[in-house]
A and B are shown apart, each in its own frame.
Chain A
Amino acid sequence: NAGVMQNPRHLVRRRGQEARLRCSPMKGHSHVYWYRQLPEEGLKFMVYLQKENIIDESGMPKERFSAEFPKEGPSILRIQQVVRGDSAAYFCASTRTGPYEQYFGPGTRLTVT
């Protein structure tokens, strides 16, 4: 039973480019959470999605960031026009039903040059 998968593991983008981060939840899980971790800091909640629905996006920056979880395929976190401050580790976690037991992916480390 494969765990939560994220790709790419490392992503380098120049300022102004777009970054797309993918998260495939565990089999049987239909809820996905995205978190951001800045260097030497804790995880910060960004967005909570269910298949085809955004449940809670209270942690998402108002501009440049968007997330989706289509009926088929992985959840995508999209960052447009990246800036240096977007450099961080982005983790996703999946649950079977809402805020229950979370399983985390290995993260995507985004570096903006």
Chain B
Amino acid sequence: KQEVTQIPAALSVPEGENLVLNCSFTDSAIYNLQWFRQDPGKGLTSLLLIQSSQREQTSGRLNASLDKSSGRSTLYIAASQPGDSATYLCVGAGNQFYFGTGTSLTVIP
């Protein structure tokens, strides 16, 4: 059974720091991996999608990588801002969607 774990569960950093969120999955048979953010009381906003044939994707200050062989994905956030404070979820797509456990990020002004 696919399990998706995110480390750390919570992270608090001062504004301006670069940071890395980790996502690991137990079964490499995924088609793609998608990163989302969820703000309190809101829905999920898609950040980046990495196909299984890709190694990374970039959007602005965000960079996501995928290493299927090791069962890992990372989300790199450069020059963090208070507006980045949210819960970040990785979701793997195989026969169904597999949701990560989430990382709650707080960026302190």
Contacts and interface: CB of A to CB of B under 8 A. Distances in A.
Contact of B101 (A42, A102, A107): A42
Contacts of B95: 99
B93 interface: yes
A8 to B, nearest CB: 14
B99 A42 contact: yes
Contacts of B34: 101-102
B46 interface: yes
B109 interface: no
Interface residues of A, number: 18
B16 interface: no
A112 B44 CA distance: 23
Interface residues of B, number: 21
Q: Is the interface of B mostly helix, strand, loop or mixed?
A: strand
A65 interface: no
Interface in B29-66: 31-32, 34, 36, 41-46, 49
Contact of B97 (A99, A105, A106, A109): A99
Given A91-B43, A91-B44, A107-B43, A102 B99 contact: no
Contact of A103 (B42, B46, B94, B97): B46
Given A99-B97, A106-B42, 12 more contacts: A42-B89, A42-B99, A43-B89, A43-B99, A45-B96, A99-B93, A99-B94, A100-B31, A101-B46, A104-B44, A104-B45, A109-B41
21 contacts: A43-B44, A45-B96, A48-B96, A56-B96, A91-B43, A99-B31, A99-B95, A99-B97, A100-B31, A100-B93, A101-B34, A102-B34, A102-B46, A102-B97, A103-B46, A104-B43, A104-B44, A104-B46, A105-B43, A106-B43, A107-B42
Interface of A: 33, 42-43, 45, 48, 56, 91, 93, 99-107, 109
- Closest 5 A/B residue pairs (Cβ): A104-B44, A99-B93, A106-B43, A104-B43, A107-B43
